[in-house]
Amino acid sequence: MKNIRNFCIIAHIDHGKSTLADRLLEATGTVTDREKQDQLLDNMDLERERGITIKSHAIQMEYVYKGENYILNLIDTPGHVDFSYEVSRSIAACEGALLIVDAAQSIQAQTISNLYLALENDLEIIPVLNKVDLPSANVEEVTDDIVDLLGCKAEEVIPASAKTGLGIDEILSAIIERIPPPKGNPDESLQALIFDSVYNPFRGVETYFRVLNGEIRKGQHIKFMATGKSYFADEVGTLRLKQFPRDVIKTGDVGYLITGIKEAKEVKVGDTITDSKSPTVNMIAGFEDVKPMVFAGIYPVDTEDYEELRNSMEKLQLNDASLVFVPESSMALGFGFRCGFLGMLHLEIIQERLEREFDMTVITTVPNVSYHAFSNKDPETPILVNNPSDLPDPSKLNRVEEPYIKATIITKSDFVGSVMSLCIEKRGEITNQTYLTTERVELTFDMPLAEIVFDFYDRLKTVSKGYASFDYSPIGLRMSHLVKVDVLLNGNIVDALSALLHRDNAYDIGKKICEKLRQLIPRQQFDIPIQAAIGAKIIARETVKALRKDVTAKCYGGDISRKRKLLEKQKKGKKRMRQVGNVEIPQEAFMAVLKLND
């Protein structure tokens, strides 16, 4: 056990986590020249294209240091705020963390939030200053920032460049010397933490775990404590680039487990594995069910593909346990699913993966968050509103509560004004403002989650010229004045475009939606009124004008009444057409609502 080191890499998006992991794998000889490629641990096409890590990845390395053999278990974690629960479980499986800071960009919001997670778990932090070879690198200044943040000495910060391989040996020796070996009792009953799972179509769910106490053997009868189910350990082993089966994984080590589980729901990240004959009494702290933050409807473009979409979603859920979905139907779009996501990036990635991996073209409705409504009859029991159509009738409604978040934004001092006005426009209340240095400010806001769902992140990047970083955590529900805005096309409500909005913003957003739809809906032979309404009150209207045939063209000369007669006849035809006419809504119209400010 004394020669095992478990560590993870934490950083803000794009500070060079995956590249540094590549260099560590090369330096320890874990990968051969043939297997080398950039972002080696990011095995999804989507991760490579976008240059982001979506899933945690674990890998074991062997390294000889001062004549002794060491086993290093590395967990590469996602940097984006949407995946912070996964990061917290990976951190719980380690004793140390490499905190990577980009020498050109300095400390960002996500760096700080992941650092706090690591400190809560008493991890040994090794600060690494990455990208020191860049011409724009501010080595001294950023080193001072790290020293202020961590309270460490300047000599402890390791300057490195993951691109050129500078400082990699120093990082490896720091991992061995500074990170403590795992503590744990090999003689106690088995206690292991699940920090990730992946789905293998041939073997079922593969569970990645870290043994805290005891040991796990091949063929052992084991139990998952959160679900209470028991299984046989068909295979256990360690994770290299390929899997290496072993007979036993001992205390302090990281490995994988195959039990032939077919249902992803049975494996929960953060759960405890124990022996079913002599189970441990203590469950590992910190387990929670993943709570979706953003909800959206996903519908097949062709209603006949409904079953196929269901199968695709179930397979996706096996790989991504944080996706939640239930069937629902819509008047406008037919049968589909109401899905829960961790955030907007998660929503985008699921949509993209459905299209790539399963060839499913889908329509996504306007995302919203889940509210609690209270009726006059029973003002204590909340009614969960995940969809605007679930909102009770306004006459029976007592109040509505919406989820709030604590948003932390770090930006340059030049952009404080524009960032503040954006947050205040989004109904944010400033709670704190701290100057980290003369140049960089940390702003803290309490904001409604619904306001950051749409375009907040994009607009924040725009007003700060890309210099603001953003992180959030939920802080509970607060009462709010919300109204349901319906969109009517030709007098019929299109339920897929309905939205719950704050009363102050309802008029403006309703007007913008109508204007946007007017540009996107194709013209018909009759006028199409587009209206936004709160209850029975119309708050905005636009009209898509009819295409008209010139029926009077054949009348030359003669009495005016001949022309009038033809025009009246045309008018009657148009009126009848409007009563039976159907308006086709193009796919862009559903997505356009998200981009109202463009």
What is the rounded CA–CA span in Å between residue 483 and residue 501?
Answer: 6
**Joined tokens for residue 85:** 């629960």
Q: Give the 3-state secondary structure of residue 528.
A: strand
Q: State yes or no: 204 annotated in a binding site.
A: no
Q: State yes or no: 132 annotated in a binding site.
A: yes
What is the rounded CA–CA span in Å between residue 241 and residue 36?
Answer: 11
What is the rounded CA–CA span in Å between residue 88 and residue 70?
Answer: 25
Q: State yes or no: 438 annotated in a binding site.
A: no
Q: State yes or no: 595 annotated in a binding site.
A: no
How many other β-carbons are positioned within 10 Å of the β-carbon of residue 575?
Answer: 10
* 272-275 sheet: strands from edge to edge: 230-232, 221-224, 272-275, 191-200, 204-213, 254-258, 235-239, 243-246
Q: State yes or no: 19 annotated in a binding site.
A: yes
What is the rounded CA–CA span in Å between residue 597 and residue 501?
Answer: 16
What is the rounded CA–CA span in Å between residue 363 and residue 355?
Answer: 11
**CA distances (Å), origin 94, targets 20, 198, 212, 244, 359:** 18, 20, 10, 21, 38
The per-residue b/e assignment along 538-551, b for 16 or more CB within 10 angstroms, e otherwise, is ebbebebeeeeeee
Q: Of all helices (H) and strands (E), which one includes residue 96?
A: strand 96-102
Q: State yes or no: 12 annotated in a binding site.
A: no
What is the rounded CA–CA span in Å between residue 350 and residue 294?
Answer: 13
CB-count burial class (<10 Å; 0-12, 13-18, 19+) for 32:
exposed
- Strands (E) in 304-413, as ranges, are 324-330, 334-341, 362-364, 371-375, 383-385, 397-412
Name 94's Cβ contacts closer than 8 Å, sequence gap at least 6: 6, 7, 8, 73, 75, 121, 123, 210
Q: State yes or no: 15 annotated in a binding site.
A: yes
Beta strands at 371-375 and 397-412: parallel, antiparallel or unpaired: antiparallel
Which of 575, 474, 528, 358 is CA-nearest to residue 113?
A: 474
Q: Of all helices (H) and strands (E), which one includes residue 503?
A: helix 503-520
Q: Give the 3-state secondary structure of residue 276.
A: coil
What is the rounded CA–CA span in Å between residue 77 and residue 539?
Answer: 47
**CA distances (Å), origin 36, targets 75, 78, 352:** 18, 21, 27
Q: State yes or no: 133 annotated in a binding site.
A: yes
Q: State yes or no: 17 annotated in a binding site.
A: yes
Which of 144, 76, 50 is CA-nearest to residue 106?
A: 144
Asked if 182 and 252 count as a contact pair (C-beta separation under 8 A), the reply is yes
Q: State yes or no: 18 annotated in a binding site.
A: yes
Q: Tokens 């593969």 map to which residue?
A: 206
Which amino acid type is present at position 415? F
Which of 448, 464, 450 is CA-nearest to residue 407?
A: 448
Please count the residues of the chain. Answer: 598
Which of 310, 366, 367 is CA-nearest to residue 335?
A: 310
Asked if 253 and 216 count as a contact pair (C-beta separation under 8 A), the reply is no
Annotated binding site for GTP, which residues? 14-19, 130-133
Residue ranges at the known binding site: 14-19, 130-133
